[in-house]
Amino acid sequence: MKSRIERIVALLEIVSLSKHFGGLAAVSDLTFGVRPGEIVGLIGPNGAGKTTVFNLIAGIYSPSHGKVVFKGMDITGKKPNIINQKGIARTFQESRLFDKKTVLENMLIAFHLESKLSFWRTIFNDSATRERERNILTKAQELLRSVGFENDMHHKATKDLPHGHRKTLGLAMALATSPELLMLDEPVGGGGMNPEETRIIMELIKGLKQKGMTILMVEHNLRVVMGLCDRIVVLNFGKKLAEGSPDEIKDHQEVIEAYLGVKDHAY
């Protein structure tokens, strides 16, 4: 009965999901859910299948078996742009930015990718198009201010931004689509982020949760995972090893042995 109730209230359902590359099972019979308004962490050793799961949800890969259900709709194998339109956005381990453009120009590109302006309106630049452009500019500036880019919108090409700021901008660009589910792929990972930058990203994610955002997160930094997540799903060799609260996971002996490889541990 419990699993049935969880399926009813889940915003995202992963049901018996599997992905094979040749003879390798990257993900095997994985099932879990993400409820509205919570942060779920997806963790595991390198090669455990975490990024493959993200790619299956986002439509980059089609599963070998199983399904992905979002808001009660089967979105399995649909194209990434369709999944994004349904209300799912993601970031990447390596920020995908337009390095020669400013912070604001990157945000405007993100908003324009979401824009529904017709081809002919864009060509003829009618009053409705100009009004839409002004609204996009205002929203882009407001979103950048909300993540701490008050002073760096115009005069910095993104190639000159510190690593943490690049991560923040990538997150902000994902928010331009107004997603209901935000998938964060190593929001503080990738190297080069100092403790202050990590703290800022964590506070930003906490703020998104307070506003009602639902988040699925892959992250190797266990202190970040334990500090942010409501629930954690642990993968090992493509299979679910454990699922539970941070307190349950940190004391789970199989997780300690498989993920950490040591008995003495600290978060």
**pLDDT digit string, tens, across residues 48-75:** 999 999 999 999 999 999 999 999 999 9
Residue 102 forms part of a structural domain: no
Residue 158 forms part of a structural domain: no
**pLDDT digit string, tens, across residues 82-117:** 999 999 999 987 778 888 899 999 999 888 765 554
- Structural domain boundaries, residue 237: 2-95+179-260
- pLDDT computed for residue 7 by the predictor: 44
C-alpha distance across the termini of the chain, in Å: 33
Please name every residue paired with 12 in a beta bridge, in sequence order, or none if there are none.
34, 70
Residue 155 forms part of a structural domain: no
Burial class from Cβ neighbours inside 10 Å (0-12, 13-18, 19+) for residue 192 reads exposed
Residue 136 forms part of a structural domain: no
Residue 184 forms part of a structural domain: yes
| Overall domain count for the chain | 1
Q: Hey, what are 13's tokens?
A: 């359902």
Tell me which amino acid residue 58 is. A
**pLDDT digit string, tens, across residues 228-267:** 999 999 999 999 999 999 999 988 888 888 765 544 444 4
- pLDDT computed for residue 55 by the predictor: 95
- pLDDT computed for residue 1 by the predictor: 40
Integer CA distances (angstroms), 152 to 22, 144, 159, 165, in order: 47, 9, 13, 10
- pLDDT computed for residue 86 by the predictor: 94
Residue 206 forms part of a structural domain: yes
Instruction: In whole angstroms, give the CA distance from residue 241 to residue 259.
Output: 10
**Domain holding 233: CATH number?**
3.40.50.300
Residue 122 forms part of a structural domain: no
Q: Hey, what are 25's tokens?
A: 């099972």
Residue 211 forms part of a structural domain: yes
